Structure 1
Amino acid sequence: MADLKPAEVDMCKLHFEIYDTFAEGKMDAADLGSLMRSLDLRITEAMVEKAGQTKNRGEKKLTIEEVLPIYSQLKKEKDMGTLNDFIEGLKVYDKLDNGTLMAAELQHVLLSLGEVMTDKEVDEVMASCAGPQDEEGFIKYQHFAKTLLAGPYPEKK
C-alpha cells in the first residue's frame, strides 16, 4: 500500500493476526470494525459496513491483502471528532455554564442523535464513562468525553 507507512502496514498485520483465530490467513468479516477500531480509527458502523463488515459470523472471510486497502481507505475518512469537538458539542446542554449537564439529557441525546444506540448500549456507555452524578442528577461532561474517547472499557465484574 503506497499510502500506508511501513509501520502502519506492520501494525495492521499484527492486529490482523489477532483476529485470524484459526491461523488460516483469514479473518471473519464480522470482526472488521473491531479490527479497525483496534488500529485507533474512529469509524461508525455505517462506514465499516460499507467497507465490507458482515452482520453474521461465517458469512465472509477477509485476507490481509483485502484488509490493507480497507484500512487505507478508512484512514482517509473525515476525522470523527476530537475531544474539543465533543466538549463543544456538549456545552450546548450546559444550561448552568458550569461544566455539567443532566445525565438524563445526555442519555436522551445518545438515544436520539447520530448513530442509533439501544437502551442497553446507552446504559453501558453511561456506566463506563459518565462518572458520578451529583445530588441533582448532573455529570461533568468533560470527564465523560475524555473517558469515552479513551476507550475501550474493561468489563465490570
Structure 2
Amino acid sequence: MAPKKVEPKKAEVKKAEVKKEEVKKEEVKQEEVKQEAPPPPPPEAVVEFSPEQVEEFRDAFALFDETPGGDMKIRLAQVGGVLRALGHNPTNQEVLRLLGRPRAEELQASLLDFHSFLAVLQQASRDRDGTGTGGRGGLEDFVEGLRVFDKEGNGTVMGAELRHVLATLGEKLTEDEVDRLMAGQEDAAGHVNYSDFVKHILAG
C-alpha cells in the first residue's frame, strides 16, 4: 500500500507561521508609532491671583450682578464690562473668543458665576501679558471702562458710584484723593459726565 501524502499539513504549518510573522510585524509597527508620537504639550501657565486681588475682582463682579437674590452671577454680555472695569481693554471680538464664541441670544440669556469668571480673567491676563498690551490705556480705553456704569446711556454716571469705583477698584485711591479728583465734576443732580471726567484726569 502506497504511503499517505502529508503535504496539506505542511501547508497549514506554513500558514500558521506566516500569520505569526504578520502579527509580530504589526506589533513592531504599533511600537514604532507609539515611539514616534510627539509628547503632550506642557500645560499653560496659570496666572496666580492673591487673596486681595480675588477680593477686588469679587467687588467689581458684584457691581454687575443683577440677579434678584444677589447670586454672584452676570450675563455673558456683561463680561467685557467687568474686564474693562478691572483694567483690561479687550475688544468685543476678544471677549467673544474668551467666552467660546456664544450666540447672540446666549449673551443675554446665559449666566456666568464668579468662579467661571476668574477662569476667563486668567485667560485675559495671559493674553495681555503675552501681547504686551497691558500698559496704560488712552482716553477711549478709560471712557469705555466707565461707560459700563452708564445705566441710562446718556454719557453720565452717578457721582457716588464713581467714587466707589475709584476707592475700591484698580489702584485704590484714598478718600482725600477721590475728593480732589471729583471736585467740580458733579452736576446739581449728582451725576458726572465721565468723558469730561477722564479728560480732566489725563490733563492733570
Return the TM-score normalized by structure 2: 0.40
Equivalent residue runs for 1:8-157 within 5 Å? 8-22=53-67, 23-52=70-99, 55-56=104-105, 58-77=108-127, 78-80=131-133, 82=135, 146-152=138-144, 155=155
Q: By how many angstroms is 1:82 displaced?
A: 4.4
- Check conservation: 2:65, 2:74, Cα contact below 8 A: yes
Higher helix share: 2
- Check conservation: 1:42, 1:79, Cα contact below 8 A: no
Q: Structure 2 stretches of 5 or more lacking a match?
A: 1-45, 148-154, 157-192, 194-204
Say how many residue pairs are matched: 96
Distance in 2, Cα, partners of 1:25 & 1:73: 20
Distance in 1, Cα, partners of 2:113 & 2:85: 17
Q: By how many angstroms is 1:19 displaced?
A: 1.1
Distance in 2, Cα, partners of 1:82 & 1:36: 15
Q: Structure 1 stretches of 5 or more lacking a match?
A: 84-144
- Check conservation: 1:28, 1:62, Cα contact below 8 A: yes
Aligned-partner residue type, residue 151 of structure 1: V
Q: Name segments (4+ residues, structure 1) moved above 3 Å.
A: 53-58
1:7 aligns with 2:52: yes
Aligned-pair Cα RMSD in Å: 2.8
Return the TM-score normalized by structure 1: 0.51
Aligned-partner residue type, residue 29 of structure 1: L
